[in-house]
Amino acid sequence: MKPDTTDINKTIQSLTKEICTLIGQLSDLDYKIDTLNYIRLMLHKVSPLKHQPVDFVAWEKTANIEGNDYNPNNVAPPEKRLLITSIEEDGYTMPIVTCPEDGLFRIVDGFHRRQAEKHSLKISQNTYGRLPVTFIRESKRELDDRMASTVRHNRARGSHDIDMMANIVKELISIGRSPGWISKHVGMDLDEILRLKQITGIASLFADKDFSYSKEIGD
């Protein structure tokens, strides 16, 4: 026998009102935000869309959110100022994509959105020194997967720094990823990977590599 959904909905509505009342009684701002983060996390765990990172967005303290040393996206000063103005006027409309690491949140995408909060007192005051973050999937938290994800985010927006891209390719090759893996996961064709090797003089890393497209793309 199926449960009466009407009764369940009434119970949920009643409990939700009670929870909202209790949260409204919390006077400590940080504790209130952390409590709401916890509630969102619990709801996320029972969500049919929990496999989507954006299903759970938490407001974390800026001091706990760190950049990475491989982001290939450079933003010119005019665009940086525009980003700050955009967030000041419109608020945060996109969370920062992060990976939990040693008690911190390492940025995968959104470094400049974080920097906007650091350089704008108005933004910092409006967010109480917090930033909206979401978390990369657990199966994608190794360094190579995070680097590939960062590049995909940047290239999808049409922005990346060629020197940093070359360094990322060098790093991925050095930790054992094949040109085929890079092509598939970073969205680069093999000719582009070959061109990048010339920028940083990493030809030795490609020694004995077969760059047959049909072979490599299947890795």
User: Which CATH number does the domain housing residue 134 bear?
Assistant: 3.90.1530.10
pLDDT band, residue 73 (cuts 50/70/90): low
Residue 58 shares a structural domain with residue 103 = yes
Residue 54 shares a structural domain with residue 111 = yes
Identify the top-confidence range among 49-53, 79-83, 181-185.
49-53
pLDDT band, residue 161 (cuts 50/70/90): low
Domains identified in the chain, total number: 3
Residue 124 shares a structural domain with residue 59 = yes
pLDDT band, residue 212 (cuts 50/70/90): very low
pLDDT, average across residues 8-36: 96
User: The pTM is what?
Assistant: 0.71
Residue 60 shares a structural domain with residue 114 = yes
Distance CA 154, CA 150 (A): 6
Distance CA 107, CA 100 (A): 9
Buried b (16+ CB within 10 A) or exposed e, 42-79: eebeeeeeeeebeebbbbbeeeebeebebbbbeeeeee
Residue 165 shares a structural domain with residue 95 = no
pLDDT of 123 reads 98
Q: 31 in a domain, yes or no?
A: yes
Residue 24 shares a structural domain with residue 58 = no
Distance CA 219, CA 5 (A): 48
Residue 107 shares a structural domain with residue 130 = yes
Residue 117 shares a structural domain with residue 170 = no
The token duo for 50 is 């929990």
Residue 73 shares a structural domain with residue 120 = yes
Distance CA 180, CA 186 (A): 10
Distance CA 172, CA 96 (A): 23
Which range is least confidently modeled, 44-58, 108-122, 202-216? 202-216
Q: 154 in a domain, yes or no?
A: no
pLDDT band, residue 207 (cuts 50/70/90): very low
pLDDT of 106 reads 94
| 192 or 57, which is more confident | 57
Q: Kindly state the DSSP code that residue 95 receives in the 8-state scheme.
A: P
Enclosing domain of residue 19: 7-46
Distance CA 20, CA 35 (A): 11
